[in-house]
Amino acid sequence: MSRTHQIDPILLSVYARAFKSITNEMSISLQKTTRSPILCEAKDFVTGLYDRHGNMLEQTENLPILSFSLAPVCKYIIDYFGEEIYEGDVIFHNDVFSMGNQNNDVAVYRPIFFEGKLVAWSACKGHQADIGGAVPGGYNPNATEVWQEALRIPPVKVYERGKLRKDVWDLIFANIRFDIVQDDMKAEIGSCIVGERRFLKLLEKYGLDSFEKHKEALFVSTQKMMEAEIAQIPNGEYSGSSTIYFDGRNHGKEYKVCVSIKVEDRKITFDYEGTDAQSNGFVNGTYSSSASAAILTFLQMINPDIPHNQGMINPIEVKIPKGTILNAAYPAATTYGNHLCPANADAITRALAQAIPERVTAGWNHLLCSLTTANDPRHGEKYVDICFMGLKGGSGAMRGVDGYDHIGMIDASGGLLDQDYEMFEQQTPHILRKHEYWCDSAGAGKWRGGLGVQTEFEIGSDQTQLVIFGDGDVEPAFGLHGGESGSLNSIELTFPDGKKRTPLSLDLLTDVPRGTIYFQEAGGGGGFGPPWERDPYKVANEVRNEVISSEEALKTYLVVLKDDGSLNELETSRLRETQIRSNC
């Protein structure tokens, strides 16, 4: 079967599918074996395969913001160890100053050897429940430098030639609070081994020579696809900007994100010149998290079926000046960096809206999030809960398509799941009172934004501690081409004595009493096109379904309803015509 001189187009498809199925299998293995809910429920991890030079062969990107630094770090590791990479090695890495994206996102790399030669790498990276530093879980608003946030792990071998380096292992885990992190790192190693086994089966079958040739051909084929996508964008330079409203230390302080996107035939460059300088807190991006944000946003504007390998990445360049809030200089604190993705995405969207208006979405809802801990009075044990269901607002609309309701932030793009309500009441002492679409939260438009949600639960523990972080509470998701903006995020507590409090982002609340009502609104996405162009029958139906109020229908959509709720066609078209005439 081995034809060494030419590319077999069929075998090429076989390889592409095999790489995908290997990374999927690695992903399933990791999800089923981990214990931290951030990994096994929210799937905050990525798995991938890389060639011997560190070029991406394929990835399974459950949380895309983690994804696009695995390959650069693989290249860094290859340089770092040089000749000293052996069969049976396992290498850990999280260091943001050697291209890691977030301290808590700890990667495992496994070199794959075939007939004594290094031929490829399997790798995965997951958000670990703790990584040392000053506070559990890593989110330390008071941090000003990396050592206050985390244990730095530059490339380090925890296994060499198949043998555990117990001293190194113990050194790492002596600096991490929770035991489950050890188990979850073992699960990451297991996932890499699953990938290695499958990959070797493939080589045994087709041979190294065939793999090398077809891999190159796959990169070329994918790069052609990517270039064809870029070629559809008119050449030119497009600028956009957005604002970060919060740096964790000074409420009211603002930072500008500026991007200039240059499209030259088959190449696209994202240049962040002009972006504001880094903050003195932990609200700072790393190059890797910011570049991943740029790539994942762009990927949503093109053919979603392009294989994810080096060929896809080659035509994209991301330049971020060092010392800016998107690429903070050593030794800055950066844990919040992944959450700058929404602002970054907004700037990119505004820029490309000029070039490819039919492919961009209006603004997405940003993340505002809470983490609750206390002792559960039902059995006296500690619980920790991130209110995933409450934080997910709507996505932006685009030409021809309404936004997606309750999808959550753009860096997960619908990959992050709500807790099941009954499991929530088993695992926390709270009682869920409400989790429903939020009427009138969507940015109005010919195509409306995705709906946000309202969440309300009664806190069932004493001396409860809450950490609030995120934004979207100052500027709503923006509309495009006459579409309106979505609604704002907010969190409000009503204490048993009736007093209310609206905590600000990065507030740490302690001693919250049992019986307090927690209420959160996650805003809707931005609309696209003038609302009075929206199909009035659709609006009437949405009024009937109580996701748009009749007042909003009249005021914003210029839709008049009869007493029975059905559309008053005559009055509606009259009202809409008046609007159009006054616009002319």
Q: Choose which of 202, 257, 313, 398 interacts with another protein (CB under 8 A).
A: 398
Report the alpha-carbon distance of residue 122 to residue 57 in Å, rounded.
10
Min dist CB 402 to another protein, Å, is 8
Stretch that binds another protein, among 89-97, 402-410, 486-494, 530-538 (CB under 8 A): 402-410
Question: Which amino acid makes up residue 568?
Answer: N
Stretch that binds another protein, among 48-56, 167-175, 313-321, 390-398 (CB under 8 A): 390-398
Binders in 154-173 for another protein, by CB under 8 A: none
Min dist CB 17 to another protein, Å, is 6
Query: Does residue 574 interact with another protein by CB under 8 A?
Result: no
Beta-strand (E) ranges in 56-116? 56-61, 90-93, 105-114
Q: What is the 3-class SS of 148-215, one letter each residue?
A: HCCCCCCCEEEEECCEECHHHHHHHHCCCCCCHHHHHHHHHHHHHHHHHHHHHHHHHHHCHHHHHHHH
- DSSP lists the bridge partners of residue 468 as 370
Query: Does residue 358 interact with another protein by CB under 8 A?
Result: no
Report the alpha-carbon distance of residue 577 to residue 222 in Å, rounded.
49
Min dist CB 25 to another protein, Å, is 6
Phi, psi of 398 (to 5 degrees): -140, 170
Which C-beta is closer to another protein: that of 55 or that of 275?
Answer: 55
H runs (alpha helix) in 232-313: 287-299, 310-313
- For 462, other C-beta atoms within 10 Å of its C-beta total 14
Binders in 455-494 for another protein, by CB under 8 A: 456
Binders in 57-116 for another protein, by CB under 8 A: 61, 64
Min dist CB 555 to another protein, Å, is 21
Binders in 426-455 for another protein, by CB under 8 A: 426, 431-437, 453
Q: Choose which of 244, 301, 459, 548 interacts with another protein (CB under 8 A).
A: 301
Stretch that binds another protein, among 25-33, 276-284, 511-519, 530-538 (CB under 8 A): 25-33
Which C-beta is closer to another protein: that of 78 or that of 368?
Answer: 368
Min dist CB 288 to another protein, Å, is 19
Query: Does residue 174 interact with another protein by CB under 8 A?
Result: no
Query: Does residue 497 interact with another protein by CB under 8 A?
Result: no
Q: Identify the H or E element spanning 582.
A: helix 569-583
Q: 338: which 2 tokens?
A: 């992944």
Beta-strand relationship, 316-319 and 267-271: parallel
- DSSP lists the bridge partners of residue 549 as none
Min dist CB 149 to another protein, Å, is 25
Which C-beta is closer to another protein: that of 184 or that of 475?
Answer: 184
- For 490, other C-beta atoms within 10 Å of its C-beta total 15
Beta-strand relationship, 490-494 and 453-458: unpaired
Query: Does residue 48 interact with another protein by CB under 8 A?
Result: no
Report the alpha-carbon distance of residue 303 to residue 257 in Å, rounded.
27
Binders in 127-156 for another protein, by CB under 8 A: none
Report the alpha-carbon distance of residue 138 to residue 132 in Å, rounded.
7
Question: Which amino acid makes up residue 580?
Answer: I
Report the alpha-carbon distance of residue 18 to residue 455 in Å, rounded.
42
Q: Choose which of 17, 117, 251, 500 interacts with another protein (CB under 8 A).
A: 17
Q: 307: which 2 tokens?
A: 């294989």
Min dist CB 3 to another protein, Å, is 9
Binders in 186-205 for another protein, by CB under 8 A: 186, 190, 198
| Binding residues with another protein: total (CB under 8 A) | 78
Which C-beta is closer to another protein: that of 183 or that of 254?
Answer: 183
Report the alpha-carbon distance of residue 135 to residue 114 in Å, rounded.
43
Which C-beta is closer to another protein: that of 44 or that of 402?
Answer: 402
Q: Are 484 and 427 in contact (CB under 8 A)?
A: no
Which C-beta is closer to another protein: that of 404 or that of 557?
Answer: 404
Which C-beta is closer to another protein: that of 155 or that of 390?
Answer: 390
Min dist CB 421 to another protein, Å, is 4
**Integer Rg of the chain from CA:** 25
Stretch that binds another protein, among 19-27, 87-95, 250-258, 532-540 (CB under 8 A): 19-27
Binders in 307-326 for another protein, by CB under 8 A: 307
Q: Choose which of 402, 471, 473, 484 interacts with another protein (CB under 8 A).
A: 402
Maximum separation of any 2 CA atoms in the chain, in Å = 80
Binders in 213-252 for another protein, by CB under 8 A: 221-222, 224-225, 228
